[in-house]
Chains A and B, each alone.
Chain A
């Protein structure tokens, strides 16, 4: 698929756009383009989903003994054991 100038402009500022770091005028232009251009809308939305799906994952539980090991090595038995 050919990239027109508006698509190229969006790609050039995609990172700032995703992070809400573009100025108000540029933001309006980009929002209008994204609204009108299905490939760019898919690109933006899938990038956004990529970030959010990772961000929503909770950090893993720490193995119970691991916390104790850290505190033991600092010289004190762990009171939560």
Chain B
């Protein structure tokens, strides 16, 4: 029985034309830059929405991100994937906006309890395909509420590692964390999300317990 994670799709690869696109965009070709924007804007918008919690602020973050990408593109030297570099800029733009909104109290370095509490050990099996239990809009709402229930440092790590499928090292690079911190936060994020989704996705009539 293979119980480790089977990727839903192949890991994200660097598109073959990316080197050339970046070279052209760095030389001032706006059409090439627009192709880069089109390639990543939906994922950056999703990331911004999950960080900001509303579409209006996410739109601002997306605009500021790609303006910054454009102005800094001459500094990009392919030491990371372009997407990872763009994500790092988007995260910084979103953090700046959150700090403006909440005062200078938003940090990814906030103290996080590292001692593992008891893991709620759900005795119930989950529905094998949760998507079949709910209408798509209802499912999206459940998943959105689940993510929003996580603190920002956990939410971001889960978003980058498990949703956007960045590697541990790419996530660490994008967030300015150690790989060890990424792994620790990711596990806690997964366990917290799992616990919050369980009431929606466990098989009806199945027993549960801790």
Which residues of chain A have a CB within 8 Å of any CB of chain B?
A: 1, 11, 14-20, 27, 31, 34-35, 38-57, 59-63, 66-67, 69-71, 73-76, 78
Contact = CB atoms under 8 A, between A and B. Distances in A.
Interface of B: 1, 3-9, 30, 33-34, 37-38, 41-43, 45-46, 49, 55, 59, 62-63, 66-67, 70, 116, 119, 121-126, 130-131, 139-140, 143, 147, 158, 162-163, 165, 183, 186-187, 190-191, 193-194, 197-198, 201-202, 209-210
A60 B122 contact: no
Given A46-B198, A78-B34, A38 B1 contact: no
B1 A19 contact: no
B131 A53 contact: yes
A27 B45 CA distance: 37
Contacts of B126: 42, 45-46, 49
B123 A19 contact: no
Contacts of A71: 30, 34, 37
Given A39-B121, A48-B5, 4 more contacts: A17-B4, A27-B4, A46-B197, A57-B143
A1 B3 CA distance: 22
Top-3 shortest CB links A-B: A59-B42, A15-B187, A20-B4
Contacts of A15: 183, 186-187, 190
B1 A66 contact: no
B206 to A, nearest CB: 9
Given A57-B143, A59-B43, A47 B63 contact: no
Nearest to B184: A15
Contact of A46 (B38, B63, B116, B201): B201
Contacts of B186: 15
A42 B163 contact: no
